[in-house]
Structure 1
Amino acid sequence: MPFLKTRIYRGTPRNLAMLASALQRGELVAVPTETVYGLAGNAFSTDACAAIFRAKGRPANDPLIVHIHDLAQLDQLAHRNPAVEKLARAFWPGPLTLVLPKKDTVPDLATSGLPSVAVRMPAHPLFRALLKKCGLPLVAPSANPFGYISPTCAAHVRDGLRGKIRHILNGGDCDIGLESTIVDLRDPRRPKILRPGKIGAAEITRVLRVPVTAAAKKRPAKTARAELAPGMLSKHYSPKTPVVLHARITPALIARIPKNEAVLPLFASKKLRGENIFPLSEKQDLGEAAHNLFAALRALDGPEKTWKKIHAELAPASPASKDRALAAALNDRLTRAAA
């Protein structure tokens, strides 16, 4: 694979027009979303899809999510059902991906040969402007080497894919910091959450008025079978430094952890202090903790490699109702990171 000069662009009208033209020519552009940064390419182009798999080192059995600007583009890609209309009105644009029966316009490579396609309408204004400008639905998995920690700023993308892609659109830090909720909606009578995210089962159930089952069981990291959606492998979002999970990080636990091992409590506390302690939230806020998770893991897994292990605290088993979806999503990412 040739070495490419990687450049970061501001979201000016001129740059958006240039990047839209690049996408129309089949090139790749790393883009900001409200969840994590994605590596975007023309969803109708097998060559563009193949370039994404090569740049990320992604196995062909892990399908891509297609991002759309409006519902007219959805009709080019997938077969709708009444449940789609309800969820689109409630949550799009936003961090919700729907798995639907696909149309033949979508290359088999994008869906790992499956007759279904994962589709999302993102909310980030720069990505939406780019989608509108280029006039194409765009496949856009996370813009990082496969299996590594997802990127939540342009610098993360540059550090992971420098030399493999030409274009990065800088949209600042991602608001949410965790990937979208994925719902299997092929049978609207039996919706299933395949990957938890900010939008939870309770919210989806309220909209659809049918029960939504919990996230599917994790699959082994090495399997030849095609996945129904991204993010379902047991090991994913993983730093190179080993991650150890704890139901609760206490002063007694910290006293037993060597000083060359980093500690990631969810919340800052006067009782949890030390040079190896890095709270995910100073405000005692789970949304802030989720927003900071991937950036914190990357910082502790940096090129200096000073930490032997990373000790991370799981979200509470019984969080406040407003935090249940985020708690499930955060614990899902930590569990896969530590696999």
Structure 2
Amino acid sequence: MRTRLLRDPDEAAAVLRRGGLCVVPTETVYGLAARADDPDAVAAVFRAKGRPSDNPLIVHLADAAQADAVAHVTETGRGLLAAFAPGPLTVVLPARPGLPSAVTAGLGTVAIRVPSAPLVLAVLGGTGPLVAPSANRSGRPSPTTWQAARDDLDGRVDAVLRGPPTEVGIESTVVDATGPVPLVLRPGAVTLDALRALFPDARAIGDGDEVGRRSPGTQHRHYAPRARVRVVDDVRQWAPGPDAAWIGLSEPPPGYALVAVCPDVAHYARRLFDTFRRADAAGLSRIDAEAVPPVGLGLAVMDRLRRAAEG
């Protein structure tokens, strides 16, 4: 397959309407889009990514009003969408009949999101609902630039829509809204504190909660570069070397081959996956990633670091 580079969202929409696959920029990470109502196109997403079939997909919508077409929107879900859509929040709701079973992984629930990036919204305006998991080979760090997405999927997708680097840099917060209490299944830029401002009883999932299967991106190896990731929380663990990279809030000692010092946690999140990919491109064998307090956005950063280190 020849992968075309596009600049016009109308061209991207045309590719998708024909049942093709197109990489699109969102505010979180670049996504691999396909029509949510086309079983063949959805199946092609799984093949292109090498994605396990029990990993559900997020359905992206042009606006929150479209949610009723694909989901039974609960009172909790309606409140979350009113407060945070468009934006980096995914809401899990009971699914309506009609979606391909691969979208929901047969769970009876569907994850929906209204992105805020202008280019993907322009595409959605010409297509209707789209699935759009991260545009990487399964298990690799999510792409935050169109170049990174092309590196992973060139020849496996029909087109890549070029856009700017993503603003958030990590995947959306996923919240189960099937019941009266919002349950965070995957942390992201919409923090637990922000949710509790509206729903004081909102909580994060525990290790034993079976409902976690409803969330995309939590059941399999994720976010891992080829280099070994070490999460370091003590200066005595810092180990500069010509084969090592550093990312964190602190200035490391000299000797690291690649250094990404971030002024705050938001920049850390934005630069994390790009640093992973730069380290791999340089052939480095280790990435030292400084731990941050697991509060607010720091909880999402630590979640991605933990998963990358386990990988």
TM range, smaller chain: over 0.9
Which residue is equivalent to 2:5? 8
CA distance in structure 2 between the aligned counterparts of 1:258 and 1:71, rounded to whole angstroms: 48
> How many pairs does the alignment contain?
309
Contact 2:245 2:256 in 1 (8 A): no
Q: 2:287 aligns with which of 279, 301, 310?
A: 310
Q: Secondary structure at the match of 2:56?
A: coil
Contact 1:100 1:116 in 2 (8 A): yes
1:84-116 Cα shifts (integer Å, max 9, x gaps) = 222112111000000000001211111111100
Q: 1:47 aligns with which of 15, 40, 45?
A: 40
Larger Rg: 1
How does the TM-score come out when normalised to structure 1?
Answer: 0.86
**In the alignment, structure 1 residue 215 sits paired with structure 2 residue 212:** no
Which residue is equivalent to 1:132? 125
Which residue is equivalent to 1:321? none
Q: Secondary structure at the match of 1:227?
A: helix
Q: 1:273 aligns with which of 254, 263, 266?
A: 254
Q: 1:197 aligns with which of 168, 188, 195?
A: 188
1:12-33 Cα shifts (integer Å, max 9, x gaps) = xxx3222212211111110000
How many Å apart are 1:218 and its aligned residue?
8.8
How many Å apart are 1:258 and its aligned residue?
5.6
1:124-156 Cα shifts (integer Å, max 9, x gaps) = 00100110122x100000000001000000000
How does the TM-score come out when normalised to structure 2?
Answer: 0.94
CA distance in structure 2 between the aligned counterparts of 1:194 and 1:246, rounded to whole angstroms: 25
Q: Secondary structure at the match of 2:296?
A: helix
1:14-64 Cα shifts (integer Å, max 9, x gaps) = x32222122111111100000000000000111111000000000100010
Which residue is equivalent to 1:320? none
Q: How does 1:1-339 map to 2 (within 5 A)?
A: 4-10=1-7, 15-134=8-127, 136-187=128-179, 189-209=180-200, 211-217=201-207, 227-233=213-219, 235-248=221-234, 250=235, 252-254=236-238, 257=239, 259-269=241-251, 272-281=253-262, 284-302=263-281, 304-305=282-283, 307-317=284-294, 324-339=295-310
CA distance in structure 1 between the aligned counterparts of 2:146 and 2:253, rounded to whole angstroms: 31
Distance change (3 Å), C-alpha of 1:218 and 1:268: farther
CA distance in structure 1 between the aligned counterparts of 2:163 and 2:240, rounded to whole angstroms: 38
* Aligned CA-pair RMSD: 1.9
Distance change (3 Å), C-alpha of 1:226 and 1:112: farther
Q: Flag structure 2 segments of 5+ consecutive residues without an equivalent.
A: none
Distance change (3 Å), C-alpha of 1:173 and 1:81: same
CA distance in structure 1 between the aligned counterparts of 2:208 and 2:189, rounded to whole angstroms: 19
How many Å apart are 1:208 and its aligned residue?
2.5
Q: Flag as ranges the 4+ runs of structure 1 deviating above 6 A.
A: none
Contact 1:113 1:226 in 2 (8 A): no
Contact 1:247 1:316 in 2 (8 A): no
Contact 2:60 2:132 in 1 (8 A): yes
* Structure with the bigger percentage of strand: 2
Percent identical pairs in the alignment equals: 39
Q: Secondary structure at the match of 1:76?
A: helix
1:288-335 Cα shifts (integer Å, max 9, x gaps) = 111000000100011x52x22222111125xxxxxx321000000000
Contact 1:68 1:121 in 2 (8 A): yes
